[in-house]
Chain A
Amino acid sequence: MTLEIVLAVTALLLFVVIFEALRRRRLSENFALFWMGVGIAAVALAFARPLIDSVSDAIGVSYGPTLVFAAFAVFLVIVCLSLSMHISRIESQVETLAQQLALREVFPPLSEGENESPSHDLEEPL
């Protein structure tokens, strides 16, 4: 039972951290939802020992918790990979932004025909 309590407390702490990060707008809603899902799954797993044991037996793993560790390792690898992909996308976006900003010093913003040109207004930083 102690293991269950430790797991449940850990999950609860996870929720507190997510909640606080969300409240301070340090975490977007998308990531918050994802990590809340992880927290709920962790709590569910904490109280699913019989299920874990029967699944381990079925696939030939002798000690249930090992399976949980293995599954968790795989899960973390997937999360890391997806975050790497996310960072890569952000990197390329920052690159695009910086290039466009750099080019603007030589090629000022388009002002077409009789359109009001807002270029002078946009030179001060936002």
Chain B
Amino acid sequence: METGSKKVLAIIPALNEAETVAAVIAEIHSVVNCDVLVIDDGSTDATVAIARNVGATVVSHPFNLGVGAAIRTGLLYADRLDYSVVVQIDADGQHDVNSAIDLIEPALSGNADLVLGSRFASGYQVSGLRALGMRLLSRIVSRRIGVTITDTTSGFRAFGPNAVGPFARAYPTEYLSDTVEALLIANDLGFRIEERSVTMHPRLGGQASAGWSRSSYLMVRLFLVIAFHPLRRSEVQGSRK
């Protein structure tokens, strides 16, 4: 994919993803003309060295801060170096890099400020209570922001030129809440939000993140975040760049 004069940055939050990160970076380089930034969120394995070896810029958090914080670090970097479009891709190889093009394209052409990759179109399936929770989330969030979003917690997304700066300051950092709250903030700021279907791969390595009780807790917290969002003080306004 050619990106013209506009600079595109792929940000990859990584926590102990030494097995898969090199393949992901190589694939990005082969598909999109962009720079790659790996945000190492306190890895204890060879993630950093491997990522540097294949030509990515790497910044390391001195200790684990969570995915949301890693995204914000990536956006801060992009904002400083004036990247127009930032695309967020997982280091575990689940996000299909070819789909990234579909996410970058609307952001690059200025048709959308935040582009989400929905995993459901490609048969991504979750079971039971979790599926119910995700459907409920999707319904509530879609109604709130006036755009139908099927996959609210997807971490495969692209940020357009208008979104990079504000999100660099205000991207939420609580695990799982970050993805949903970001949508609400985007809506507050009048961003155009779009959802595209993306392809998902089975995990190349590592393991899924949350067990049953933790998932339930995260879900409860997520609903609290959504319920309180309209009442809470905005982090974007009043904060300096």
Contacts and interface: CB of A to CB of B under 8 A. Distances in A.
Nearest to A92: B63
Contacts of B77: 118
Nearest to A121: B80
A116 B231 contact: no
A96 to B, nearest CB: 5
Nearest to B63: A93
A24 interface: yes
Say which size band chain B's interface belongs to. 20 to 34
11 contacts: A22-B232, A23-B232, A25-B232, A25-B233, A30-B174, A30-B221, A33-B220, A96-B63, A114-B55, A118-B81, A121-B80
Say which size band chain A's interface belongs to. 20 to 34
A115 B55 contact: yes
A70 interface: no
A112 interface: yes
Contacts of B35: 116
Nearest to B231: A23
A8 B52 CA distance: 59
A121 B55 CA distance: 20
Contacts of A93: 62-63
A29 B232 contact: no
Contacts of A30: 174, 221
Interface of A: 22-25, 28-30, 32-33, 93, 96-97, 100, 112-116, 118, 121-122, 126
Contact of A29 (B55, B76, B221): B221
Contacts of A114: 55
A86 B52 CA distance: 34
A61 to B, nearest CB: 32
B235 interface: yes
Interface in B183-241: 220-221, 224-225, 228, 231-233, 235
Contacts of A112: 52, 57
Given A29-B225, A93-B63, A100-B62, A121 B232 contact: no
